[in-house]
Structure 1
Amino acid sequence: MAEFIKGRPERVAILASGGMSHYPGTSKYTKPEFDFDRWMISQLEVGNIDAVLNLTPEQLDEAGNTEMLTWSIMLGAIGHVPGELLQYTPTWHHGHCMMRFIPARERKYPPMKMLEEYGGFKFKNAGFEFYKHPPASAYDLNRLLFDLRQDPALCQRVIDNLDAVAAEYGLEPEQRKAAQGLVDVGGAKVLSKFVPPLVEAGAHPLSALMSVLTIYPMSKKAFEQQVTKN
């Protein structure tokens, strides 16, 4: 990317979009690693991009920063350019950050205070902890979750006759049981409680969460119609 840009006459800006610490669809959804984020920001503000590039995908997963892989591509292209923090907001589920990396530019804001290594975060280094690759045995379940996010008609079929759809997709008994949450979520106050059973059945956490959110409005409508009928 850097070599290509170097040969172009235009001025080029590289955008890297990816959240900092967050764990959607997992048990740590409400517990982001904000101090790890701040440590990473402090390293980038002094141009120490190796602090980020040396982290493995498994470590980024553990610290809730898998989406920083997009930043890594940008950092690899721009090299050791000190970044400048424009905004960092710790929310209940997400570390939201915006930085800019402009060569030979006077800094407008002072760098963030340097924190201890990893912001005190202790890696277990035991492989992927939260976003594990789904097992091959869960292929059909993940295929169903993917399909229903693109197909409102399939969502309605799941609500109307889950058994038929489960048979069509060849779901195993435990997967069929977990998929019941796609129907039951319509009458729930807490949507996220239907995600863990899907994950335990082999669904990818993000796929499970987004599928529950996708089908919820239709499930809710069906639930309300049933209540009115009764």
Structure 2
Amino acid sequence: MAEIVAAAAAVHAPQLLSRPPYEEMDKLDNSTDALHAFGQVLKDARPDAVLVVGIDHLETFWLEAVPTFTLVISEECEAAYTQWRRRKKVHTSLAVDLLKGVVAQDFDLTYSQEAELGHAFLTPFEHILGDSEIPVIPLLVNTYLPPVPSPRRCFALGKAIARALADRPERIAVIASGGMSHFPGTARYTAPNYAFDKWLIQETAAGRYEDLLGLTGVNLDEVGESELLTWCVLLGMTGGELPGSLLSYQELSHHGHGVIQFVPPLAPAAGTGAGQPELLPRYGGHEFTQDDYVYYRFPEPSSLPLNRFLRQIITRADARSAFVKDRDAAIAGSGLSEAEREALAADGFDRLVELGAHPLLALSAWQVVKNQLSAAG
């Protein structure tokens, strides 16, 4: 049967690729050092394929279709973020068997033969896999366009994948590409829930996951942890009991960067001789109050033109360059409402989100424009 020989959950923040000068470089270095360390673990494990469980920041499918789970079964795949790109060979035969085996278990799974992937895949391709020729199998989980799957459903998908691969002889590695607490593009962008992160690190070290799996998508939205859904797929594949060892955790002003290794297991860190540390309270002391999505709400159809304009800035070099060169002209020709044009003319992204822009698109458009302006001097 297929054997999981390496597995980790890993941050994929775009700043690890773009390295903008306004970030804390030492913390970015600590995160990439941890990704490189797991890359060496993966190299030593010599897997036949790497299942990369990532997310879509509205780069791949956009609003014409929002699948909950998508498997990429092309012969090759490409991941991109502005000018950075990497192509990887896909282990197509294994991916097709995985697809057939999961659907046979009555688990609906979308597939694509030409999806272009975003930075949730490019970051591990760059900093974990690098120039390795090990083929990959990309799997996308919807985490930012409600309704999103529950942690328990993602865990069930992981178990279904493990069963689908039970008769395969390959050695498999798994990367769950997803961040810890952050609220990109929202009014809480600079207020991550670090306490929840630290509680999760504690529970992961002990192999305790029931409290995490018992949460809802609305709960994850409240603490900025929706990307943990990729972790839940990994946990389902590994059985849901393996502890994870922390390779790095960095508190950036806008993001908790975590890298945790599950397979192969690492020896527990040596104690300090001062006894066991006091356990952090459940969920880091957070008490859930939301009864619906607040930070990443369902995108109303009326906001589609604004969201389309922002996505073009992110994904099309010509649109981005035109906006950077002459913002007023680009906005004037957009066909958007007066309020939307005024928000685009202003700095920042809060007003865009208030008008219905998806926070990820508003933030990403602001970031890529800022990066291009910075590069131009």
Instruction: Pick the TM interval, shorter chain.
Output: 0.7 to 0.9
Tell me the amino acid that sits aligned with residue 126 of structure 1: D
Could you state the TM-score of these two structures normalised by the residue count of structure 2? 0.51
Q: Does 1:21 align with 2:181?
A: yes
Q: 2:246 — aligned with what? A: 85
Q: Does 1:7 align with 2:167?
A: yes
Deviations 1:76-125 (A, max 9, x none): 1111212222222222222111111137x463326975311111112112
Q: Does 1:206 align with 2:360?
A: yes
Deviations 1:150-199 (A, max 9, x none): 223223444251354222xxx22221221223xxx4xxxxxxxx200110
Contact 1:178 1:198 in 2 (8 A): yes
Distance 1:61 1:34, change over 3 A: same
Give structure 1 regions of 4+ aligned residues with deviation exceeding 4 angstroms.
110-113, 217-222
Structure-1 separation of matches of 2:206 and 2:373: 50
- Map 1:80-229 onto structure 2 (within 5 A): 80-102=241-263, 105=265, 107-109=267-269, 114-158=279-323, 159=327, 161-167=329-335, 171-181=336-346, 185=347, 194-216=348-370
Percent of aligned pairs sharing the same letter: 37
Structure-2 separation of matches of 1:212 and 1:221: 14
Q: 1:191 — aligned with what? A: none
- Map 1:26-65 onto structure 2 (within 5 A): 26-65=186-225
Q: Which runs of 5+ in 2 are unaligned?
A: 1-160, 271-275
How many residue pairs were aligned? 208
Structure-2 separation of matches of 1:36 and 1:53: 14
Distance 1:209 1:112, change over 3 A: farther
Structure-1 separation of matches of 2:289 and 2:281: 17
Deviations 1:178-228 (A, max 9, x none): 1223xxx4xxxxxxxx20011011101110011112223566799x9xxxx
Could you state the TM-score of these two structures normalised by the residue count of structure 1? 0.80
Q: 2:4 — aligned with what? A: none
RMSD: 2.5
Tell me the amino acid that sits aligned with residue 134 of structure 1: P
Distance 1:91 1:219, change over 3 A: closer
Q: Which has the higher strand share?
A: 2
